[in-house]
Amino acid sequence: IAGITQAPTSQILAAGRRMTLRCTQDMRHNAMYWYRQDLGLGLRLIHYSNTAGTTGKGEVPDGYSVSRANTDDFPLTLASAVPSQTSVYFCASSSGADTGELFFGEGSRLTVL
């Protein structure tokens, strides 16, 4: 089934450790996004990529980095995790056409202790 695959589904991490959340899409979408979802705050954009080789900062980029080496993959890295990064992380993609429709993965639940 075409779509977005995120890994891991869930992870508990010690503060200070490095963590990479993986995201792969098979829809050949140009644009990809990382959001974090926190109770009472909705979804907030962390980083985005309009096309392979380019990335941009969203609303809450501090403490996170991304890369977009090819169309399909868009990993999110926490260089040194902190407890405030405990959240559910969603990867999404869009075709890049001006439709605004995003397709979401099922999320990665990260707990930083």
- Which of 39-67 are b and which e, b meaning 16 or more Cβ less than 10 Å from the residue's Cβ? eeeebebbbbbeeeeebeebebbeebebe
Q: Which residues pair with 109 in a beta bridge?
A: 10, 88
Number of residues that this document lists for the chain = 113
Neighbours of 1 (CB within 10 A): 3
Closer by beta carbon to another protein, 35 or else 78: 35
Q: How far is the CB of 107 from another protein (least distance, A)?
A: 6
Question: Tokens representing 34?
Answer: 């990382």
| Minimum CB distance to another protein smaller for 14 or for 101 | 101
Residue 34 identity: W
What's the min distance (Å) between Cβ of 63 and another protein?
A: 19
Positions in the binding site for another protein (CB under 8 A): 4, 31, 33, 35, 40-45, 48, 58-59, 90, 92, 94, 96, 98-102, 104-107
- Cβ 73 to another protein, closest distance in Å? 18
Residue placing its CB nearer to another protein in the complex, 33 or 74: 33
Min dist. Cβ of residue 2 to another protein (A):
14
